[in-house]
Structure 1
Amino acid sequence: MNEVDRLTKDLQQAQVAYQMAAQLSQFKTGFLARISHELRSPISTIMGLHQLILHNLCESPEEERESIEQAYQAIQKLLKMIDEILMVSKLEYGRISLNIISFSLEMVFADLYQFTHLQAANRNLKLEIILPQPALYIRADLEKFRQILITLVDTGINLTKEGTIQILAQVNPESDRVIIYLNIPCSVELWQEDGQFPGIGSEPSLETVKNFSKTLEMSPTLKFLLAQTLIEMMQGQLEILPMSPENQSQRFTQIQCLIPLASPESVAQEWATV
């Protein structure tokens, strides 16, 4: 390789590195903006509940006590959200580590069904989880990977009104990864909606604040972003696939998760030390 070819190759590598860094920076900026936006809802709920008390809008001491209880529950939900965000942040900065091991995907799918099928049945939805072969092993953090799938399916159930939620997996031999598909019969737009507080400046009624505080949680968007960040830390990939032009009018979301495939050698070595 002559000097010109070497410099050209170095320039190309530098351009790729710059593009990756720019994309990462853009993602981090959007991620921080999303977190800031999400935290406003529980804070606004707490302020709204206190506003009702301070402005003497409660009709009785019982309603005041109920407002205080609702505020306390909102604070608990806020702390839970902050804990989940901090956990991801600590992982990113190396303050805590993932426990990457080889484990059976069939076992995780069985757990996934156990934790979500009753909720699906309660909403008259069909949950179809196609179990992979027992010999199919992946490498990830077992506890966090299982929770990610449960959260995604749980969110899908809450967003879906009717139909069948399907989960299946297949091996991509070209990349040594397992592809997991979550097919959910709801529009992609629902995964991009925010949980907005109705506002605190207009002195909302007790009933309005109560109803909102009961449903207060992370939006589907933030849940997906946190899951996406964790999967990437496991050397995987999580994305919502775009609809084909002929199917864009359908209310359907397909989530694709790529996770490293465990080689038979690594599985045998790990289990030999157990």
Structure 2
Amino acid sequence: MEVRKEGSIRVWAACSTESPQAHIWIDVQTPASIWSEAVDLFSRAPDEIQTQPDETSKISPGLTLFMVQTLIEVMNGRLDVLSVSSGDPTSDSQENSIRLQCSMPLGTPEPVEQGLEVG
């Protein structure tokens, strides 16, 4: 297993004044190509596609992103991959950065029952 110790992650959050939502932003210094996947599975012969998972198979970053987006949508939220704008056009550090924005509705307080009924 290869361990890479480069790049950075920046996280911050805020509540929207225009809508009842909370926003969480995550800046990740990584190439955008990590989230893209080959779409040629239909063009491959069935014997070329691995049907049985082995111990070394991993979930790809693209599939992980799709699953997380789906779960957040089920919770009435939204996950977007945004571009990071750079103030310095000669800086290439921003080219390797992506921003994830997670928008979630704020919860409404609900009363909690004090006791459990035993029947």
So what's the TM-score if we normalise by structure 1?
A: 0.31
Higher normalized strand content (fraction of residues) = 2
Structure of higher RCO (CA pairs closer than 8 Å, 6+ residues apart): 2
CA distance in 2, matches of 1:184, 1:250: 11
CA distance in 2, matches of 1:192, 1:185: 16
Residue 64 of structure 2 aligns to a residue whose secondary structure is helix
Q: Does 1:220 align with 2:53?
A: no
CA distance in 2, matches of 1:243, 1:166: 12
Match of 1:240 in 2: 81
Q: Are residues 243 and 165 of structure 1, via their aligned partners in 2, closer, same or farther at CA, if it must alter by over 3 Å?
A: closer
Letter in 2 for 1:260: P
Residue 12 of structure 2 aligns to a residue whose secondary structure is strand
Match of 2:98 in 1: 253
Show CA shifts across 1:185-233 (max 9, x none): 1011111145xxxxx77xxxxxxxxxxx554111111111111111111
Task: Give 5+ residue unaligned stretches, structure 1.
Answer: 1-122, 124-159, 195-199, 202-212
Higher normalized helix content (fraction of residues) = 1
Match of 2:8 in 1: 164
Letter in 1 for 2:113: T
Show CA shifts across 1:14-69 (max 9, x none): xxxxxxxxxxxxxxxxxxxxxxxxxxxxxxxxxxxxxxxxxxxxxxxxxxxxxxxx
Instruction: Please give the root-mean-square deviation of Cα atoms over the aligned residues, in Å.
Output: 3.0
Match of 1:181 in 2: 25
Q: Are residues 240 and 161 of structure 1, via their aligned partners in 2, closer, same or farther at CA, if it must alter by over 3 Å?
A: farther
Match of 1:143 in 2: none
- Of all paired residues, the percent bearing the same amino acid is 29
CA distance in 1, matches of 2:55, 2:33: 23
CA offset at residue 163 of structure 1?
Answer: 2.6
Structure with greater Cα Rg: 1
CA distance in 2, matches of 1:250, 1:230: 28
